[in-house]
Structure 1
Amino acid sequence: MPVPAKAFQRWLQGVAPSASMADISRISGIKRTTLAQQLVRGKVAESTLVSVSRAVGINPVTALAVFDTFADLRREPPLPRPEELVSQIATTDLLHAVIARSIPDDPGAPPAPQPPLIPAPHTTSVRNWVDAIDDGELRHRVSAATGIAPQNYSAQLTANRLTPELAIATAVAAGVAPTSGLVATGLITEEEAGWAPDARQRALARLSDGELASLAGDRLQAIGRTLRRQEQDHERTEKIWENLG
């Protein structure tokens, strides 16, 4: 949920008292017209707050926690669960790991260096994260807590997106760190959430060969279903155009 413009301006006055709006626009990379429009409308987007906080050298989590909308960020977050970390590993990296583990080790050779993982988020980060923390009733709890209709919540997940407010509500309902949802949505980085630099890599290394192969297979099946739906939609569109002549 966007933060109130007046509250944003008070916060900005406290962290950058000598900076003009032109200065803020320049150092944050936000267009002056965009910032001005948000202030006039009385609502400043979370992404704007995050960009400005980075520009003035403040961790976005600290900045967001100032506002009542994000009060859940004020408490000390628990460490991300291993399944959350794995959910933020791209399918490409999982497949690379499967291939690497399938190559027989050479006893005389040094261990092969591990390539860096693709930074989070990836193309299915949100869906994977929710699936990783869902105990079967999570969607119902989020719906009851926020008032969002289950079908609307599911539609956001299908589109691989969640508003910051819903991401935090989902994390709270699952009993995990609210920052994890913000990483999955791409609002903040792993580092800003307090994740160790190699946290995802270590979570990947802890997967057994069977767990890794099963997870990679599940991801490929999900990609296959998505591609089939897209192909079917394309075919239907083509038929409609053909009938229209």
Structure 2
Amino acid sequence: MPIPAKAFQRWLHGIAPHTSTSDICRVSGIKRTTLAQQLVRGKVAEATVVSISRAYNVNPVSALAAFDAYRQLADTHPPTRAELVSQISTADLLRAVLARSAADPGGAPAAAAAAAADAADAAAEPAGSPALEPAPHATSVKNWVEAIDDGELRHRVSAATGIAPQNYSAQLTANRLAPELAVATSLAAGVGPASGLVATGLVTEAEAGWPPGARQAALDSLSDGELTTLAGDRLQTLGRALRRQEHDHEKTEKIWENLG
């Protein structure tokens, strides 16, 4: 839910008093026209608050919690293991499978594959880069909701927010979720209210209060069976998505061919 312009201006005066709009936009990287349009409409985007907060060394989650629509963010909870694992990319899961296979003396083919993958990673990534890709990833939103869904989550979110279930599902399919829906989903599932904002990419893990290295620790805690099953499920989901894309592409090409 966008922030009311008057509440935003009061907040802005509190963190950057006597600072011109031009200077605020310059420091935060927001276009002046963008901020001006939001103020005229009377609704300021959450992303604007986040950008300005970072520019003035204010925690974005705490900044959003200052507004009535997001006051629940003041109540912080650590993420569950399922949430942490949901924010690990498929590529990182596969690398973990290969790494564990390489540790098995009997897994020579897997060891060779792991060595090749490590060599490719070393060539592609700068030295000192993190072991895991930063959240979010290509299916982070959908994976996060699936990780906390008890089977009735979508219905509770729909009842609490008024969003039609099909519209909610459409956002998940597109790997996006409006900030207010992300928070509502967290509350409906009984998890930390900022977790959904991490999955959507609005805030970082550190800004949401996730412990350093928490995702890696969650990954390491998976048994070989759990890891392999999860990676397999992700690959199946990816395969279905790719097949749909290929089918849509073929249909488009046939349409163009018929049009001459």
TM range (shorter): over 0.9
Matches within 5 A, 1:58-207: 58-75=58-75, 77-104=76-103, 116-207=131-222
Q: Aligned partner of 2:245: which letter?
A: Q
Deviation at 1:222, TM superposition (A): 0.6
Q: Structure 1 CA distance, aligned partners of 2:40 and 2:154?
A: 35
Counterpart check, 1:5 vs 2:14: no
Q: Structure 2 CA distance, aligned partners of 1:212 and 1:74?
A: 34
The one-character-per-residue Cα deviations of 1:84-118 (angstroms, maximum 9, x if unpaired) are 00000011100000000001358xxxxx9996100
Structure 1 consecutive aligned stretches of length 4 or more whose deviation exceeds 4 Å: 112-115
Deviates more, 1:65-74 or 1:184-193: 65-74
Matches within 5 A, 1:9-48: 9-48=9-48
RMSD: 1.5
Q: Structure 2 CA distance, aligned partners of 1:87 and 1:70?
A: 24
Alignment coverage as a number of residue pairs: 239
Q: Structure 2 CA distance, aligned partners of 1:96 and 1:221?
A: 17
Q: Structure 2 CA distance, aligned partners of 1:93 and 1:176?
A: 24
Instruction: Compute the TM-score of the two structures, normalised by the length of structure 2.
Output: 0.89
Q: Structure 2 CA distance, aligned partners of 1:89 and 1:217?
A: 14
| Residue equivalent to 1:109 | none
Instruction: Compute the TM-score of the two structures, normalised by the length of structure 1.
Output: 0.95
Q: Structure 1 CA distance, aligned partners of 2:63 and 2:78?
A: 20
Q: Aligned partner of 2:232: which letter?
A: G
Unaligned runs of 5+ in 2: 106-117, 119-127
Secondary structure (helix, strand or coil) at the match of 2:49 reads helix
Q: Structure 2 CA distance, aligned partners of 1:95 and 1:114?
A: 18
Q: Structure 2 CA distance, aligned partners of 1:40 and 1:227?
A: 42
Unaligned runs of 5+ in 1: 107-111
| Residue equivalent to 1:218 | 233
| Residue equivalent to 1:52 | 52
| Residue equivalent to 1:231 | 246
Same amino acid, percent of matched pairs: 73
Q: Structure 2 CA distance, aligned partners of 1:92 and 1:198?
A: 18
Q: Structure 1 CA distance, aligned partners of 2:245 and 2:72?
A: 38
Deviation at 1:74, TM superposition (A): 2.1
Q: Aligned partner of 1:93: which letter?
A: D
Secondary structure (helix, strand or coil) at the match of 1:235 reads helix
